Amino acid sequence: MSMPARVVVMLSGSGSNLQAILDATASRHFPAEIVGVISDKPEAYGLERARSATIPTHCVERSAYSSRAEFENGLEAAIDTLDPDYVVLAGFMRILRGDLPRRFAGRMLNIHPSLLPKHKGLDTHQRALDEGDIEHGCTVHFVTSELDAGPGIIQATLLVGDTSDADTLARRVLQLEHVIYPMALRWLAEGRLRSSGERILLDGLPLDEPVVMSADTLLG
C-alpha cells in the first residue's frame, strides 16, 4: 500500500473523532492522510472542521435519492472519486447495507460508544447507566453489513464509578474514542492490522478478541 494511505471519513455530526484523526495525521510520521470527508447532513459541524483543514468535503443527502439503494450508490460514487485505501465512519448515522461493506471489507472502520457486543445501536450511555454497568467504554471495529457487529479491533474501558448522567459518561467515553480511533487507523495503515479471509491479524497473529486498554493506560 502506498504511503501515506488515503482515508475517507464519513460523518453526520460534530466530528470530534474526525478532529482527533486530523490532529494525528498532522504529525509527520502518521502513515495516513484524510483525502475527503463525506456527510449525509449539510449542517454537520464535522464538514466545517474538514474545510478548516482544507480537506475536500462532499454532502450526499438521503432526501436527494428515491431509495436507500440509490442513496448508497450516491455515497459509493462520492467515495470512489476520492479513491481511498480506507473508509472511516466517525459518527455516520446511516446503516450501510449494500455493496460498500463488502467492497471495503477489512478496510472500513467504525467507532461505537459501548463495549460491544453490549449496547449496539443508540443511547448507549444511558443504557449502560440503566443496567448498572460497572465498566463502559468504546470499540473500534471493522464494518460489516450487520449493525455494530463486525470484528472488534480495540476497546477502551473506564469504570463508571460515580458518574450518574449520560452526558458526563458520553464525554468521558469520547475522550477515549479520540485516543483509540487514530491508534487503530495507524495500525491499519502501517499494515500491522489486516484481514485475511475470515481472520483479523495483528502483527501476524489472529485477533479473535479486540485489544482491551483501560482509561488509566490510555490517558495516563
- Element (DSSP H or E) covering residue 38: strand 32-39
Region near ligand GRF per CB under 6 A, out of 59-67, 105-113, 146-154, 200-208 = 105-113
Cell of 219: 490517558
Q: Residue 158 in contact with residue 176, Cβ under 8 Å?
A: yes
Does position 154 bind ligand GRF by CB under 6 A? no
From residue 214, give the alpha-carbon distance in Å to each of 7, 155, 161, 217.
27, 8, 14, 5
3-state secondary structure of 188: helix
Active-site residues: which are they? 112
Q: Which of residues 74-93 bind ligand GRF (CB under 6 A)?
A: 90-91
Does position 49 bind ligand GRF by CB under 6 A? no
From residue 164, give the alpha-carbon distance in Å to each of 126, 127, 129, 173.
9, 12, 7, 14
Does position 14 bind ligand GRF by CB under 6 A? yes
Region near ligand GRF per CB under 6 A, out of 7-15, 25-33, 72-80, 185-193 = 7-15
Does position 144 bind ligand GRF by CB under 6 A? no
Does position 106 bind ligand GRF by CB under 6 A? no
Positions that interact with ligand GRF (CB under 6 A): 11, 13-17, 46, 90-91, 111-113, 138, 174, 177
